[in-house]
Structure 1
């Protein structure tokens, strides 16, 4: 092992973390670093998530496993960033001698130059954990060649940092700071540059995109206005955004689903619970009448919209009746998919101090029942697609390949559903291309079909 500038990134958590990791990889690449496999890296970058207890524990397990590399090659070192880094801070340096750099959620923009410096200064260790007053400075790094995303043809664009909601269970405001909106012109310029590089689909990212521009850092542009500016960029095929807080989604944003063809008919709208009493305890700022009103309004302007959600079971004080109301709400909406979790205490949150904690076994039983319901709803939604055609943006080869003469490809339709289809092996690389597919079969979590016409 020598002192070559090689690195490997390991990412936990949400799409914002995925985006941050991709940015950091590009930023290191333009500084002369090469991304390699885990076995061959000199520097390991661990981008962490603390929104739930499980991904946080996975970080500690990973750091323990990485120790063997450092034991064999002392010149190697670990960098820890993201939400757990913000939460734990310098304790990482005290607990793990081979962790030489810890950076918080606002300091990723300074990470590339710091990693460069540490590679040259053996033994030096650093922590950058301060929150910035405004939107943190971070260069837009688009390489001259090669993919701009881990999935060719797609890109994530951050529009804001932090959150002001302080939901009772959520650690995000403590590890990502208060909400700060990015300049609308900066967002639009980045999106336009990505489209010029061949990106077909852009996802706008924020902890609560619907409140974009409402903080003191905002430039007066509302999220609905930003959506219109991005949706009308020449050459953009698809636009998505996440995450939406139900209490803040404006009528103009709902109307945008009917106005702009580029805005995909899919929306992740976290419900968290179907009981008004639980929602009040969570501090969510809406009730089920408000939530169901949003669902009806969305389907009025875009009847085919695919809705997905987040759900927490076993929040402190949740009764059997509260849980039944959640099941009823999930079935009434008919979510195509959901991310569901057992409640777990997060340090410093209001819910951590609440009484009437639910027994783990009860939480587990409720989660299993909820997930069984969701599996049925997902199967129904996918079965309804059979016999239709879908426009698929190709992401990669499918995990299952039929033969040497035929390559199976995988992508997503405009509703976000995974679609697989075969294509002759001599047909070339379809990654990043759009293909119309006639859907023939619905599997448990995906669709299979045959291409109709040529890719474009």
Structure 2
């Protein structure tokens, strides 16, 4: 069967789609471009309203393609599937399967049953109390990215119930994987040629603190994965400030292959807003974490998430966010205007910030971030680093072929190399020569490896 997966939203969804593709490949299915597919799988996100609307638009396009494919059908997974559920069957009759984040483990079998001619409509929407291990490919069936980077899910769901967030309602309560299952998957990927691993979870710092935990903390897991022979780089995301342990902070100064980069969502610099958000940390606590991280690893690059226009946010609240941005000097940030999501506590909070004021604040925040990012990139000029090549760069001028990669902190670096192909997945020693608006330019200083 020929299939195509469209993915919306976070890196967790990207990882879920990659796993689903491997599972289908192992059953003899074939991944193809959209215009060749018989089965269309849409992996969805509902964190904000716009991605949700994109899903409906995508299904509208798929409807047109399926008119000429009698045996074809569609499946919808992820957060919008969990939220809308069987409603997709009524609105889009060609949708034959909906599955939530806990139901994805059984999605390959359901898809195979439907492809064999079953006329049923399948809903895999039940939450489970313990993490259900997914089938893993072995040996030659392992499909790794050409970049030799991979993501490993270490947990599912979230117990935090921040007042603006729909994740606990669409991904369920927190469920940690057994640490040995995580470590074995990491070993398998490194044996298969992966050089960089990223551990994934809604809140990796709380790994093992749910009833599925077996006494292994996230710091313990981090050290075990870092010790795998052949692993060049290790990252993790996302990290909730309220749960980050001193041992995790210390690890940045102790584990050589733990990259000097961390995504540490702030959301707001105002204690009053943080309290309404139910983030369970203060500005002072957050800044103390930042101080500890910079002491452990002075070259650490911090990124963050920021929400403007949260109900009740005043101009002074917003200014406090800007002050924290200036103090921390984030390398980059993901920033958004607050939007109501169904079922969350913030839906009923007042007063709402007007769309015009929220837009103005977002513009001012992003202008500040651009300035901070620019200054940070300029400080890298002259530094020597290692660049893991991810592919050919869009920039192609001058001699040689330009390639794009990332330094250990995750910054994009463009290099002109005397190779037209075969560089993806290699590590290149380089010196930074120039800072652009959102990336760096460099020159090779040694042989790729």
Q: Give the TM-score category using the shorter length.
A: over 0.9
1:389 and 1:439 in contact (8 A); partners too: yes
How many angstroms does 1:145 deviate by? 5.7
How many angstroms does 1:107 deviate by? 1.1
Inter-partner Cα distance in structure 1 for 2:224 and 2:318: 41
Once the two structures are superposed, residues 218-268 of structure 1 have per-residue CA deviations (whole angstroms, 9 ceiling, x without a partner) of 011001111111111111101000000001000000000011011000000
**Any unmatched runs of 5+ in structure 1?**
none
- 1:279 lines up with 2:274 in the alignment: yes
Q: Secondary structure at the match of 1:425?
A: coil
Once the two structures are superposed, residues 126-163 of structure 1 have per-residue CA deviations (whole angstroms, 9 ceiling, x without a partner) of 111111121023112256167413x5211100111110
Q: Which residue does the alignment assign to 1:411?
A: 405
Inter-partner Cα distance in structure 1 for 2:119 and 2:371: 55
- Superposed counterparts of 1:16-415, under 5 Å: 16-121=12-117, 123-142=119-138, 144=140, 147-149=143-145, 152-402=147-397, 406-415=400-409
Q: Secondary structure at the match of 1:86?
A: helix
2:22 and 2:142 in contact (8 A); partners too: no
Seen in structure 2, the aligned counterparts of structure 1 residues 144 and 286 have a Cα distance that, compared at 3 Å, is same
2:269 and 2:283 in contact (8 A); partners too: yes
**Any unmatched runs of 5+ in structure 2?**
none
1:184 and 1:221 in contact (8 A); partners too: yes
1:8 and 1:41 in contact (8 A); partners too: yes
Q: Which residue does the alignment assign to 2:414?
A: 420
Inter-partner Cα distance in structure 2 for 1:442 and 1:47: 36
- Of stretches 356-365 and 446-455 in structure 1, the one that deviates more from structure 2 is 446-455
CA root-mean-square deviation: 1.2
Q: 2:448 is matched with which residue: 442, 445, 455? A: 455
- Of stretches 121-130 and 16-25 in structure 1, the one that deviates more from structure 2 is 121-130
Inter-partner Cα distance in structure 1 for 2:236 and 2:43: 22
2:133 and 2:177 in contact (8 A); partners too: no
Q: Secondary structure at the match of 1:27?
A: helix
Q: Which residue does the alignment assign to 2:423?
A: 430
Inter-partner Cα distance in structure 1 for 2:67 and 2:239: 45
Once the two structures are superposed, residues 43-75 of structure 1 have per-residue CA deviations (whole angstroms, 9 ceiling, x without a partner) of 111000111111111111111121110123232
Q: Secondary structure at the match of 2:404?
A: strand
* Stretches of 4+ aligned residues off by more than 3 angstroms: none
Inter-partner Cα distance in structure 2 for 1:19 and 1:295: 28
Q: Matched residue pairs, number?
A: 449
How many angstroms does 1:402 deviate by? 2.8
Normalised TM-score (structure 2): 0.98
Inter-partner Cα distance in structure 2 for 1:112 and 1:386: 48
1:265 and 1:302 in contact (8 A); partners too: yes
Inter-partner Cα distance in structure 2 for 1:267 and 1:26: 29
Q: Which residue does the alignment assign to 1:439?
A: 432
1:273 and 1:326 in contact (8 A); partners too: yes
Q: Secondary structure at the match of 2:161?
A: coil
Inter-partner Cα distance in structure 2 for 1:341 and 1:145: 40
Seen in structure 2, the aligned counterparts of structure 1 residues 142 and 270 have a Cα distance that, compared at 3 Å, is farther
